Structure 1
């Protein structure tokens, strides 16, 4: 079983170990759990563009919260994880999502991991548009390349499927312009 790296981050191998461990504890307690992961954990596990992430941005389905909290505490102790290793703050930005397009990422015996489709993840990165050290810019560039987006119009069409374009303020517009420039396009 992998422990956290010296830098306190979880890489793909550690994340998979954590999910395997969670599945075993769920199985022991005859509990089924569905979790949707977002952000850095997806970029680390699916797109291999990040060496690691500091937390798991996620949303859990309804379950036995007392038992789940106990299992999460066991996991935290076993892997020497910091407080906040499970981050449900993603629920805030999700209130702005017009529709959720989820797909299955991985299925264990008692744990099912879902993730948003690439287009939704890109829209969420554009909406967040956080400055460094957040990785939104790098993530958005990778997602644009993955989706073959080369025009501002195509990007905005994807984004508008998931968030209202009225939510795009100055920060998001500058983010999009710099993103286009970084990808070699003029998105002014």
Structure 2
């Protein structure tokens, strides 16, 4: 019988199991690590907005790369995770972030998990503005509700703290308009 029937999907409990395992591996190797999580991982773990995510969008602090790579391969094997379960492609969009406000999500003995504040995550979701099946739109709507953002001015003020407004093109502008409409506001 398969101990991990949902290969490819990481729900909150599986993510916590993985982080526990990573911490244990780090401890056995006398290694400390900071891991900053983004995207679907946050929406699954913090906001309970998704039942699961397919990967962990993250950035690692500087570490012994060879040892860390070995630990990640062991984790992939133990949890029967698909290739790409760790996704550090978030590094590219992070280059557009002008301010990063991180807070501790969870601390273990050898692993510290950080996450951006909800305001930064909202700015990143608007900047990405990917079409479905990406969950940027539903995530942004939830974040607007959570942050009590009810006007276009408030949304743009939040965004410009983290992302230069000059980066908002037609895709992002339409995303904002539809977001306001979906939330019941006129953000034309």
Q: TM-score surpassing 0.5?
A: yes
Distance 1:139 1:3, change over 3 A: farther
- Contact kept, 8 Å, 2:7 with 2:80, in 1: the verdict is no
SS in 1 for 2:10: coil
- Contact kept, 8 Å, 1:3 with 1:14, in 2: the verdict is no
SS in 2 for 1:104: strand
Tell me the equivalent position of 1:39.
39
SS in 2 for 1:25: helix
In structure 2, the gaps of 5 or more residues are: none
Distance 2:34 2:3 in 1: 24
Q: Deviations over 1:50-106 (max 9, x none)?
A: 000000000000010100000000000000001100000000000000011000000
1:18-57 matches, within 5 Å, as 18-57=18-57
| Dislocated runs of 4+, deviation >4 Å | 2-5
Q: TM-score, normalised by structure 1?
A: 0.97
RMSD: 1.1
Q: TM-score, normalised by structure 2?
A: 0.97
SS in 2 for 1:149: coil
Tell me the equivalent position of 2:65.
65
